[in-house]
């Protein structure tokens, strides 16, 4: 499928001011009718053929952002331009038609695959639904997709329960690639896998990106994995992006004190490697009642009076490198 | 630079009993039934753990680490067959009755697991659970137990321990729940702590806090820690020695620094190359991992006649299929690989 080259290099995807609040279920105690702002207006871009990594701890909003892009969750406000289309305005037949261009790979293939359906049929399903192939052509395409993800043709007749965790994730990736998408949202794609199997899957995703010219929105709690895959990284904290920039800059010259702590916590199996940074005190505070001022200040080693009163905006600290901190780069 | 994996010398001298192992496991074998046939999930594992030390047991799914922990605690599943010895301060635990076991678990050996939410009772306050753990092992008054519970929570750096007594687990964050589990595990004063992936469900910055806490407990009260983990980054920073398990056998063991710097077994080498390390300056983005090919077979499909890793091993040669290699000396440790048997000969 050939497309007209764009005159202006516009990003493949631009998300603007995404915000989402979830109402909490009435509990036995407290939290009655409370509202959890999972996302507080985040903006990011994915360039064509590039990978944006979203990193942050549980509750940071990175997964909600990914689910909004994948049209699995509707934001309260915000806009997404995907390949020039107002992505959130699509519905009905138009959405079904365009869905093939944006696919998702989830954390746990055990849950994302249908347990009572053979692997080959699961990969064929999107092709059939979209009317992209049938009969012999369909079977050949499934065989090709299995080969692309490093599985033998015999896998087509297996059920998910006959497959290992790594094989299941390969099937899920083959299914995501079946419709030749331009963007794949990968939500913690290796977190449920053993280390040695996770490494194989990351390699596969890197190979596929090269071969198929894919873009990824790669979501993970593990900065080390993200730094291997992503061109740019956005660091999430309590529903907002606190730092965003080129992957190498984020991992070698982080500017936000929270990113500095994440870099310090990233696994380094070299016992002689220096321990970077101090251990961050406390935990991610409740998003229902976030701290005043900069949301990070209660855990921040360099918080000053201003940080307790004012919230810093996400602003450019270096070319293409945004950070929301009044004192960027002071912790290192 | 001081090696980070070893406590400073002065601290080691403070621990008088350091030479005598608190916990030793000798040739432990756990066979599990699959379709009526017994297969060894743990196959001849031996190690010793001394006071104040941290031993890491590293392994992926199917390595046998979970069955190893359960066997040490006398919690093997129904139908399992055990052989070998588990010695606690020289006493053979495999001869204990169920009642004697209950006195050992908690009092002599504490344990924490991956999911603190699952380990805690959701309908009891943290205080009630710590008090129960204390009174289970010691006939102290309720007031005395309560005082000790506050101490136990303070020891694991629980902020505001007095108030924490009245909190229910669901009101706590993941990190605080794991601290509560630690307080319960340590309430009766055990000398050994079995920690099975204690930080795997926690966020990175919170995991660091829990691991630093375990380090402090080792230094301050000479607690011996058996840390089951898949995370070699954690091992590098927090353990003295490492056992690498594959398909139920120890494939490599040694001091942390030496083992991680110069791994001898092809599986350990592959595992180290599979770890996601931060791609920072000097490293290449998009660089592929030198991943290990294939996957470990299910318990019932494993070959027992040769090296279990041979089907995935890049260095496989003829002897690997003929017999199971012994643990041969390799560097400062030992490696279950015929290459380590050949190496000294080649050098001579």
- pLDDT tens for each residue of B235-256: 998 999 999 999 999 999 999 9
Asked if pLDDT for residue B14 goes beyond 90, the answer is no
- φ/ψ of B244, rounded to 5, equals -105, 120
Q: Which residues pair with B105 in a beta bridge?
A: B109
Distance from CA of B237 to the nearest CA of A (A): 6
Which residue in B has a C-alpha nearest to residue A191's C-alpha? B200
User: Could A270 and B176 be called an inter-chain contact, meaning their C-beta atoms sit closer than 8 Å?
Assistant: no
Structure confidence at residue B289 (pLDDT): 87
Torsion (CA) B170, B174, B175, B181 in degrees, nearest 10: 60
Asked if pLDDT for residue B257 goes beyond 50, the answer is yes
Q: What is the DSSP string of B163-215?
A: HHTT--GGGS-HHHHHHHHHHHHHTT--SEEEEESTTTTS-HHHHHHHHHHHH
What is the pLDDT confidence band of residue A258, given thresholds at 50, 70 and 90? very high
Structure confidence at residue B3 (pLDDT): 42
Structure confidence at residue B348 (pLDDT): 36
Lowest mean pLDDT among A244-253, A259-268, A322-331: A259-268
Mean pLDDT of B54-63: 93
- pTM for this entry: 0.86
User: Could B3 and A272 be called an inter-chain contact, meaning their C-beta atoms sit closer than 8 Å?
Assistant: yes
Mean pLDDT of B303-324: 93
B173: nearest CB among A206, A247, A283: A283
What is the pLDDT confidence band of residue A322, given thresholds at 50, 70 and 90? very high
In the sheet that holds B91-92, the strands lie side by side as B37-50, B21-34, B81-88, B91-92
What is the pLDDT confidence band of residue B319, given thresholds at 50, 70 and 90? very high
Provide the CB-side half-sphere exposure for B55 (13 A, CA): 24
User: Could B4 and A271 be called an inter-chain contact, meaning their C-beta atoms sit closer than 8 Å?
Assistant: yes
Top-ranked range on mean pLDDT: pick from A77-91, A285-299, B131-145, B174-188: A77-91
Distance from CA of A6 to the nearest CA of B (A): 26
Residues of A in Cβ contact (< 8 Å) with B230: 194-195
Mean pLDDT of B339-347: 68
Asked if pLDDT for residue B99 goes beyond 90, the answer is no
Please, are residues A276 and A264 in contact by the beta-carbon 8 Å criterion? yes
What is the pLDDT confidence band of residue B46, given thresholds at 50, 70 and 90? very high
* CA nearest to A188, candidates A153, A214, A157, A222: A222
Mean pLDDT of B142-150: 93
What is the pLDDT confidence band of residue B2, given thresholds at 50, 70 and 90? very low
* CA nearest to A274, candidates A192, A332, A197: A332
Distance from CA of A5 to the nearest CA of B (A): 26
User: Could A247 and B279 be called an inter-chain contact, meaning their C-beta atoms sit closer than 8 Å?
Assistant: yes
Mean pLDDT in chain A? 89
Distance from CA of B206 to the nearest CA of A (A): 6
Please, are residues A83 and A182 in contact by the beta-carbon 8 Å criterion? yes
Structure confidence at residue B333 (pLDDT): 95
Asked if pLDDT for residue A186 goes beyond 90, the answer is yes
User: Could A267 and B277 be called an inter-chain contact, meaning their C-beta atoms sit closer than 8 Å?
Assistant: yes
Mean pLDDT of A82-92: 95
Structure confidence at residue B10 (pLDDT): 47
A195: nearest CB among B175, B230, B288: B230
Q: pLDDT for A89-115, tens place per residue?
A: 999 999 988 999 999 999 887 788 999
Structure confidence at residue A3 (pLDDT): 54
User: Could B285 and A228 be called an inter-chain contact, meaning their C-beta atoms sit closer than 8 Å?
Assistant: yes
Top-ranked range on mean pLDDT: pick from A182-191, B19-28, B269-278: A182-191
Asked if pLDDT for residue B345 goes beyond 80, the answer is no
B288: nearest CB among A167, A203, A251: A203
User: Could B232 and A269 be called an inter-chain contact, meaning their C-beta atoms sit closer than 8 Å?
Assistant: yes
Antiparallel, parallel or unpaired: β B54-58 and B224-229 = parallel
Tell which of B1, B203, B259, B261 to mutate to test the A interface (max A CBs under 10 Å). B203
Which residue in A has a C-alpha nearest to residue B292's C-alpha? A196
A206: nearest CB among B5, B231, B288: B288
Structure confidence at residue B12 (pLDDT): 46
Q: Kindly state the tokens that stand for A321.
A: 């490198």
Mean pLDDT of A156-168: 92
Residues 6+ apart with CB under 8 A from B20: B50, B89, B90
Mean pLDDT of B327-346: 85
* CA nearest to A232, candidates A215, A214, A250, A219: A250
* CA nearest to B190, candidates B104, B272, B97: B104
- What ipTM does the predicted assembly reach? 0.81
What is the pLDDT confidence band of residue A116, given thresholds at 50, 70 and 90? very high
Distance from CA of B273 to the nearest CA of A (A): 9
Q: pLDDT for B284-310, tens place per residue?
A: 667 788 889 888 888 988 888 899 999
Distance from CA of A198 to the nearest CA of B (A): 8
In the sheet that holds B328-330, the strands lie side by side as B109-112, B192-196, B224-229, B54-58, B241-246, B249-255, B333-335, B328-330
Provide the CB-side half-sphere exposure for A102 (13 A, CA): 25
Tell which of B4, B176, B205, B283 to mutate to test the A interface (max A CBs under 10 Å). B205
User: Could B205 and A200 be called an inter-chain contact, meaning their C-beta atoms sit closer than 8 Å?
Assistant: no
User: Could A267 and B286 be called an inter-chain contact, meaning their C-beta atoms sit closer than 8 Å?
Assistant: no
Q: pLDDT for A266-308, tens place per residue?
A: 856 776 665 555 678 888 887 778 889 999 999 999 999 999 9
A271: nearest CB among B204, B256, B277: B256
Asked if pLDDT for residue B281 goes beyond 90, the answer is no
């Amino acid at each position: 499928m050939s497309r007209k080259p764009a005159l202006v290099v516009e990003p493949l995807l631009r998300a603007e001011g995404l915000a989402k609040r979830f109402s909490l279920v009435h509990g036995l105690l407290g939290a009655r009718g409370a509202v959890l702002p999972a996302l507080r207006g985040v903006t990011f871009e994915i360039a064509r053929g590039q990978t944006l990594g979203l990193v942050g701890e549980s509750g940071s909003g990175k997964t909600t952002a990914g689910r909004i892009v994948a049209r699995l969750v509707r934001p309260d406000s915000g806009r997404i331009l995907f390949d020039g289309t107002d992505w959130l305005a699509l519905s009905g037949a138009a959405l079904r038609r365009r869905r093939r261009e944006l696919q998702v790979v989830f954390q746990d293939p055990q849950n994302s695959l249908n347990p009572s359906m053979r692997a080959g049929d699961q990969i064929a399903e999107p092709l059939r639904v979209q009317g992209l192939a049938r009969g012999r052509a369909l079977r050949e395409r499934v065989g090709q997709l299995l080969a692309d993800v490093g599985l033998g043709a015999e896998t087509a007749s297996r059920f998910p329960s006959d497959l290992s965790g790594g094989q299941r994730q390969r099937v899920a990736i083959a299914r995501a690639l079946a419709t030749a998408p331009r963007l794949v949202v990968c939500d913690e794609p290796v977190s449920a896998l053993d280390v040695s199997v996770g490494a194989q899957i990351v390699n596969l995703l890197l190979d596929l990106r090269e071969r198929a010219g894919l873009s990824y929105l790669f979501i993970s709690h593990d900065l080390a994995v993200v730094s291997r895959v992503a061109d740019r990284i956005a660091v999430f904290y309590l529903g907002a992006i606190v730092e965003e920039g080129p992957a190498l800059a984020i991992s070698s010259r982080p500017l936000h004190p929270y990113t500095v702590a994440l870099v310090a916590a990233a696994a380094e199996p070299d016992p002689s490697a220096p321990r970077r940074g101090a251990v961050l005190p406390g935990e991610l505070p409740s998003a229902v009642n976030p701290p005043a001022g900069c949301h990070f200040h209660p855990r921040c080693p360099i918080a000053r009076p201003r940080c307790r009163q004012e919230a810093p905006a996400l602003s450019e600290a270096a070319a293409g490198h945004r950070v929301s901190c009044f004192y960027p780069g002071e912790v290192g | 630079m001081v090696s980070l994996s070893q406590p400073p010398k002065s601290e080691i001298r403070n621990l008088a009993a350091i030479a005598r192992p608190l916990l030793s496991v000798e040739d432990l074998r756990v066979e599990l039934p699959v379709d009526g046939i017994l297969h060894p999930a743990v196959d001849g594992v031996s190690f010793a753990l001394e006071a104040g030390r941290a031993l890491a047991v590293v392994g992926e799914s199917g390595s046998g680490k979970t069955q190893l922990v359960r066997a040490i605690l006398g919690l093997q599943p129904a139908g399992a067959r055990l052989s070998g010895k588990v010695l606690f301060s020289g006493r053979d635990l495999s001869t204990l009755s169920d009642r004697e076991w209950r006195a050992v678990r908690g009092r002599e050996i504490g344990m924490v697991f991956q999911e603190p939410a699952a380990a805690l009772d959701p309908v009891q306050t943290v205080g009630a659970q710590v008090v129960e753990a204390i009174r289970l092992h010691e006939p102290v008054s309720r007031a005395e137990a309560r005082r000790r519970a506050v101490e136990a929570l303070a020891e694991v750096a629980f902020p505001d321990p007095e108030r924490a007594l009245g909190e229910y687990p669901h009101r706590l964050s993941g990190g605080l729940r794991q601290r509560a589990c630690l307080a319960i595990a340590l309430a009766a004063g055990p000398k050994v702590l079995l920690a099975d992936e204690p930080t795997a469900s926690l966020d990175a910055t919170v995991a660091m806090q829990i691991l630093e806490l375990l380090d402090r407990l080792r230094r301050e009260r000479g607690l011996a820690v058996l840390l089951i983990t898949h995370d070699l980054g954690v091992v590098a920073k927090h353990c003295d020695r490492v056992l690498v398990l594959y398909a139920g056998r120890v494939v490599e063991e040694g001091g942390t620094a030496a083992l991680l710097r110069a791994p001898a077994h092809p599986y350990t080498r592959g595992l180290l190359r599979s770890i996601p390390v931060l791609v920072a300056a000097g490293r290449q983005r998009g660089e592929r991992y030198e991943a290990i090919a294939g996957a470990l077979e299910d318990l019932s499909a494993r070959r027992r006649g040769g090296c279990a890793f041979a089907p995935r091993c890049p260095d496989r040669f003829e002897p690997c299929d003929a017999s199971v290699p012994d643990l041969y000396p390799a560097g400062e440790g030992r490696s279950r690989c015929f290459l380590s048997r050949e190496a000294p000969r080649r050098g001579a």
